[in-house]
Amino acid sequence: MGKILNSGYGAVFGTYWIIYAVVSSFASVFMLAKGYTNSQIGVTLAAANVLAVIMQPLIADFVDRSKKLDVIGTTEIMTVCMMVFTIGMFTFKGGSLGLCVVFVLLIAFHTVLQPLFNSLAFRLEEAGVSINFGIARSVGSLAYSIFVAIFGTIVEHFGINVMPIASEISCLLLIASLAFTGYYFNKGKKQAQQRNIEQETVEQRAETIVEAEESIEEEEEINLIQFIKRNKMFFIMNLGVLGIFFSNAVLNNYMAQICDGVGGSTEDMGRILGVMAFLEIPTMVFFKQLRRRFSCQFLLKIAAIGFTVKIAICWLANSVIMLYIGQLFQPVSFALFLPGMVYFSDEMMSRGEAVKGQALFTTMITITTIFATLFGGMILDASGSKMLTFVSTLLTAAGALVIIFAIDRVKSNK
């Protein structure tokens, strides 16, 4: 049962990131071919992220309160909605408001799915199975890297009309993965409940309830303002996240334009994104081993520098080969920073603050993605890809300096 559920969870992440490749990574390719300007693309991508920010707490609250729909059922319905939205890619004309709305809804719904899938790991453990989140996330990176490398060639040869077809097929695969996982989860949960009924005493149940209530009360005692006051250096450090993830958002959303600026093609873009995602895997898989040898502070400093070097090489690039070389720093930038920040927050924050620490980090990434997509498109139209990567390099370097300055001054509240 454990292997089956872990395989199903990995399949969910794999198909999720394939959908991301189609609706997000290739969004610029599709919309440019449909006659949109970079500024219009930027506004569309920014609007999608704003809508996602609004939707996330609403959907999360719905899942927590609903007695009829669990995480799996909710994500299945949202995926069906994405299939309906994708029809608009066939029907709306290029340059129309309707097609922009389609992309806003597709990207927003897809973005909202991610925290739900993250929480699904804990939900699946109710079946008495230990879920390996790191391996599942690595499956997502592997699936994405293989798909974008192949899909860039397909789009180059057959045109952008293959994109909505690929979106519909990948959504169907996601629904199938969720159905498979849900079936075995329900089966395992019944078995686990039966074991619990036989083993758990009334006193143990009461103790569990008391501990849960105390945990909730402890989290509710600390609001956001109090959290920032108690963790000023941690907050300042997260301001650095705004800088380093600006370049990450630029590379993820505007790689097509950056490739075009050095004489590359859509095929090159797909392969570069594929290399970028593939190089994340070893670091994420073996992060726990790295953590045993080095402190989170040290790893996060290295990652901040890695972000800066990577975008600087992309700025200086005068050929597609140079863009490939820049991605060689992915293992010591994004792949190191993401798990490093999760562990660092957990180490520094008290039990009642841990959730807010993780939420602050996620919020900073969302904010910088909105600004990067919005102003990135404007910079592209006004001055081209070289100026965009130059601005990104400056902001990333500034963010790295803030992180390096602040991280050793963050005090533990354990």
Closest CA to 5 of 85, 121, 167, 98: 121
Give 18-29 pLDDT, tens digit per residue. 999 999 999 999
How do residues 137-148 score in pLDDT, each as one tens digit?
888 889 999 999
DSSP state, residue 246: H
Residue 251 has a pLDDT of 95
Judged against a pLDDT cut of 90, whether residue 3 lies above it is answered with no
Question: Percentage of the chain surpassing pLDDT 70?
Answer: 90
Q: Which helix (H) or strand (E) holds 4?
A: helix 2-20
What burial class does residue 181 get, using C-beta atoms within 10 Å of its C-beta: 0-12 exposed, 13-18 middle, 19+ buried?
Answer: buried
User: What residues does each domain of the chain span?
Assistant: 1-199, 213-414
Residue 278 has pLDDT above 50, yes or no: yes
pTM, full prediction: 0.83
- Report the C-alpha gap between 103 and 231 in whole angstroms: 38
Confidence at 216, pLDDT banded by 50, 70, 90:
very low
Topology alike, domains 1-199 and 213-414:
yes
pLDDT greater than 90 at residue 17? yes
How high does pLDDT run on average in the chain?
87
- Whole-number Å distance between alpha carbons of 113 and 67: 19
Please report, in angstroms and rounded to a whole number, the separation of the first and last CA atoms in the chain.
Answer: 36
Highest averaged pLDDT of the listed ranges 116-120, 365-369, 400-404 = 400-404
User: Does pLDDT of 321 surpass 50?
Assistant: yes
Tokens of 170: 């990948």
Looking at residue 262, the DSSP 8-state letter turns out to be: T
Q: 162-199 and 97-124 helices cross at what angle (nearest 10)?
A: 20
Query: Cβ contacts of residue 28 below 8 Å, gap of 6+?
Result: 38, 41, 253, 254, 255, 256, 257
Q: What is the pLDDT of residues 233-269, one digit of tens each?
A: 999 999 999 999 999 999 999 999 999 999 999 999 9
CATH for the stretch 213-414: 1.20.1250.20
The answer to whether the beta carbons of residues 400 and 308 sit under 8 Å apart is yes
Which of 90-94, 219-223, 380-384, 401-405 is the least confident region? 219-223
**If pLDDT is split at 50, 70 and 90, which confidence band does 192 have?**
low
Q: What is the pLDDT of residue 118?
A: 78
Tell me what pLDDT residue 264 has.
94
pLDDT at 349: 75
Average pLDDT over residues 318-327: 96
Q: What is the pLDDT at residue 222?
A: 56
Q: What confidence score (pLDDT) does residue 354 get?
A: 65
Fold exhibited by the domain 1-199: Growth Hormone; Chain: A; (1.20.1250)
